[in-house]
Amino acid sequence: MQEFDTIVIGSGAGGLTTALCLAKAGQKVLVLEQHYVPGGWCHSFYLNGHRFSPGVHYIGMLDKGESTSNLYESLGIANDLVFFRMNPSAYEHCWIGDERIDMPAGIEELRETLTKRFPEERKGLKKYLKVVQQVSRQIQLIPKMNGFWDNITIPFRTAQLGKYGLFSLKKVIGWHIKDRLLQKVLNVQCGDHGLPPAQASFPLHCAVMDHYFNGGFYPSGGGASIVKAMTTAIKKHGGEVRTGNGVKRILIEGEKKWKAAGVELQNGEIIHAKRVISNADPEKTYTEMVGIKYLSKSLQKKLLKTKYSVTSLSLFLTVEMDVIKAGLDSGNIWMMRNKDMDELFGDMKATDILKDDEFPGLFISCTTLKDPLSFNGRHHTIEAITYLGYDAFKEFSHLDDYHSAAYLQYKDRICEKLLNSLERVVPGIRDHIVQMELGTPMTNEFYIRSTRGSVYGTEKNFWQTGPFSYRNKSEIENLYLCGASVLAHGVAGASYSGAQTAATILNCKMDDLLKPDPDQNIRIYEAEDSSGWPEWIHRKMKRKKERSQKSESGIQNSEYRIQDR
C-alpha cells in the first residue's frame, strides 16, 4: 500500500509545475500520466526520427527579468533550457487574403511598422497598444495585492482594466482602430485563445498580445525539453513521475463532508494520498473521475453550462527541400481569408469541412527553422494547424475504435485540402514530402484526454475567465485543480496556474514560491543569425548532419544492392 503527500493527475505544464513546487517544499509527490510520455500538450513525438511538438509553437516573455524567464529561474530549471529567438523582424507573418503584413518584436517596433502601413491610424494605434499593455500589466497586479493600502489603491492602479474589462475585443478595438485590415492584423493572435473578436474577453486578448510583444521564442528540443527539465527536477527533489498510468477515479471519503483520499488506476491499483491535484479539465475531473453524486448542485449546474475551446486539425510534414529559398523563416504564418473575423471563425466551425478546396484559416510554422539544432541538413519539419468544431467528427466520436476505413479516408481528404493551402505558401511542396501525418480531434482526445478534443481547455469567453473560471481549490476537501481551465492557458499560463495551486496548498503567496535564482539563466540564441551561436551548437549540428548523411548512404547502398541483385 503506497501513500503520498500529493498525487498529481496529468503531466501537462500545470501539473508538472505544481508537482515541482510541492516537491521542492519537501512533499512526497507522485505525478500520474496516462500517455506513454509525460507533458500533456507540451509533449513531443517522433515520426521516423523527426520530432514534432503539437502544442508548443512559441513562448513569450523569456528575456531576462520577464515573467516566463523568472518562472523558469524560480523553478530551478532555467540552466537546463535553451531557446531560439524567432525572427525579430517578423515573428508573426499575417497572410490576410492577398495582403502580407509582418509583426516585429517590440511594442515600439510594432507601432512604427504598422504606422508606416496605416498612417491614418497613427493616433488610434498608439493609444490602443498602450491600453493593451496597461490592461495586461494591471491583470498581473491583482494577485499581488495584499494588505489595507493595496486594497484601497486598487481602483487607481487598475483603472484601465476597470474601464475596458467588461467589454469584448471587438468593441474595444473598434473604439480605437477603424481600418478593418489593421483590426485583423492586431487580432490575428485570436488564434492563440481560439475565440473570434466578438466573443473574446478584451483583458484575455490583452494578456496574449502582451505576452508576445517582445517576440516569440522556441525551445531547442521542442516542448519535450521543458518537460524533461521539469521531470528531472521533480525526481531530484524526491518526486515520482509515472507514465502509462491512467486514473480511473479519484477516491472520495467522508459522510457529512467529502474529501479526496487518493486514486484508483485503470489497472485497479489503489494509491492513497493526503491530497489530489487534477491537471485534467473540469469535465474529466469532476464528471468522470469524481462522480456527479459527490458534487453540489451549483457545481453540477456550472459543469453543464461550461463550454470548451475549439479543437484542431494538425498536419505534420517532413519535407526534403530548401524551405528558406521557398520563402519560409523562423516566424509563424497566420494565413486567413480577408473577411470579417467573426464570420471566419464561424466558417471554421462548419460541420461540412470538405466543401471548399482550402480551409478558411491556417497556422503554419517550420520547426527546423525555429530550432536549427533539429535540422539534419536535409529534412525540414513543418506543422500546419487549423481550428474546427468538434461536430465535424461526430461520425467517429462515439466509437471505441475510430480507426475505420471511413476515418482514414476522411483524413486523406483533409490532408489534400490542407496541402492546397500549403502550396500557396510553399509552391511545389507536394513533390518534396518525405512523410505526412494528421492529428484530429480524436487524436487530441486519445493522447491528451481533453474534452471534445479542446486545445485550450475551457472556452476563454468572458464568463469563463478571471473571477468566473474554475478555482484551484475545489469544494471537495483535499482536491485541487490546475491547468489551462483554472488561471490561464498556454505553456506559461498553465505553468502559473500550477504555481498558484501549490501556493494555495502551502498557504503562501505565489511570489513566495517564484523567487528568481541569480544562478539560473536561460540560454537564448538567434534562430536567424548563427554568428552568435556558441561552438557547441555548431559541433552538434555538424554531428547531426554527418549522421544523417551516413544513414542516407546506408539506405542508398542497400537500395543499390537490391537493384543489383
pLDDT of residue 152: 52
Indicate which CATH number applies to the domain containing 255.
3.50.50.60
Tell me whether residue 454 is in a domain.
Answer: no
Q: How many domains, the chain?
A: 4
pLDDT tens digit sequence for 473-524: 999 999 999 999 998 999 999 999 999 999 999 999 999 999 989 999 999 9
Tell me whether residue 91 is in a domain.
Answer: no
Report phi then psi at 435, rounded to 5: -155, 160
Say whether both 248 and 348 belong to one domain.
Answer: no
Say whether both 111 and 11 belong to one domain.
Answer: no
Which residue do the cell numbers 522556441 mark?
A: 218
Say whether both 504 and 543 belong to one domain.
Answer: no
pLDDT tens digit sequence for 214-266: 999 999 999 999 999 999 999 999 999 999 999 999 999 998 899 999 999 99
pLDDT of residue 397: 81
Q: What gap in Å lies between CA 390 and CA 312, rounded to an integer?
A: 8
Say whether both 321 and 444 belong to one domain.
Answer: yes
Instruction: Give me the mean pLDDT over the 11-21 stretch.
Output: 98
Say whether both 111 and 208 belong to one domain.
Answer: yes
pLDDT of residue 231: 98
Instruction: Give me the mean pLDDT over the 108-116 stretch.
Output: 98
Say whether both 264 and 295 belong to one domain.
Answer: yes
Length in residues, the chain: 565
pLDDT tens digit sequence for 134-186: 999 888 766 665 554 445 545 556 788 889 988 999 999 999 999 999 999 99
Instruction: Give me the mean pLDDT over the 449-458 stretch.
Output: 96
Q: What SS3 state is found at 508?
A: coil
The average confidence (pLDDT) of the chain is: 92
Tell me whether residue 458 is in a domain.
Answer: no
pLDDT of residue 565: 24
CA distances 460 to 193, 307, 349, 397, 538, Å, are 7, 9, 16, 23, 42
Tell me whether residue 47 is in a domain.
Answer: yes
Among 448, 472, 497, give the residue marking a domain's end: 448
- Strands of the 82-85 sheet, one edge to the other: 217-219, 82-85, 523-526
Instruction: Give me the mean pLDDT over the 338-347 stretch.
Output: 95
pLDDT tens digit sequence for 31-69: 999 999 999 999 999 999 999 999 999 999 999 999 999
Say whether both 351 and 429 belong to one domain.
Answer: yes
When pLDDT is cut at 50, 70 and 90, the band that residue 548 belongs to is confident
pLDDT of residue 552: 67
Say whether both 13 and 129 belong to one domain.
Answer: no
518: which DSSP letter? T
Instruction: Give me the mean pLDDT over the 367-385 stretch.
Output: 97
- The angle at the Cα of 153, spanning 152 to 157, to the nearest 5 degrees, equals 150
Q: What gap in Å lies between CA 8 and CA 14, rounded to an integer?
A: 10
Which residues, other chains included, contact 548 with Cβ-Cβ below 8 Å and sequence gap of 6+?
A: 376, 377, 378, 379
Say whether both 443 and 319 belong to one domain.
Answer: yes
DSSP string, 179-211: -HHHHHHHTGGGGGTT--TTTBBHHHHHHHHHH
Instruction: Name the strand (E) or helix (H) holding 234.
Output: helix 223-236
SS (H, E, C) 470-481: CCCECCCECEEE
Cell of 287: 464528471
pLDDT of residue 379: 96
Instruction: Name the strand (E) or helix (H) holding 503.
Output: helix 490-506
Say whether both 320 and 303 belong to one domain.
Answer: no
Q: What gap in Å lies between CA 479 and CA 494, rounded to an integer?
A: 18
Residue 562 has pLDDT above 70, yes or no: no
Residue 564 has pLDDT above 70, yes or no: no
Which residues, other chains included, contact 512 with Cβ-Cβ below 8 Å and sequence gap of 6+?
A: 503
Least confident of 82-86, 392-396, 409-413: 392-396
pLDDT of residue 560: 27
Cell of 379: 529534412
Where in the sequence is the domain holding 201, given as residue range(s)? 106-213
Instruction: Give me the mean pLDDT over the 290-312 stretch.
Output: 97
pLDDT of residue 147: 55
pLDDT tens digit sequence for 72-101: 999 999 999 999 999 999 999 999 999 999
Say whether both 390 and 403 belong to one domain.
Answer: yes
pLDDT of residue 159: 81
Q: Could you tell me the end-to-end alpha-carbon distance of the chain, in angstroms, rounded to an integer?
A: 61
Say whether both 323 and 425 belong to one domain.
Answer: yes
Tell me whether residue 478 is in a domain.
Answer: yes
pLDDT of residue 501: 97
Among 213, 246, 272, give the residue marking a domain's end: 213
Largest CA distance in the chain: 87
Tell me whether residue 155 is in a domain.
Answer: yes
Tell me whether residue 334 is in a domain.
Answer: yes
pLDDT of residue 547: 87
Q: What gap in Å lies between CA 162 and CA 135, rounded to an integer?
A: 9
553 CA to centre of own chain = 38
Among 195, 213, 231, give the residue marking a domain's end: 213
Tell me whether residue 97 is in a domain.
Answer: no
Buried b (16+ CB within 10 A) or exposed e, 364-401: bbbbbbbbbbbbbeebbbbbbbbbbbbebbeebeeeee
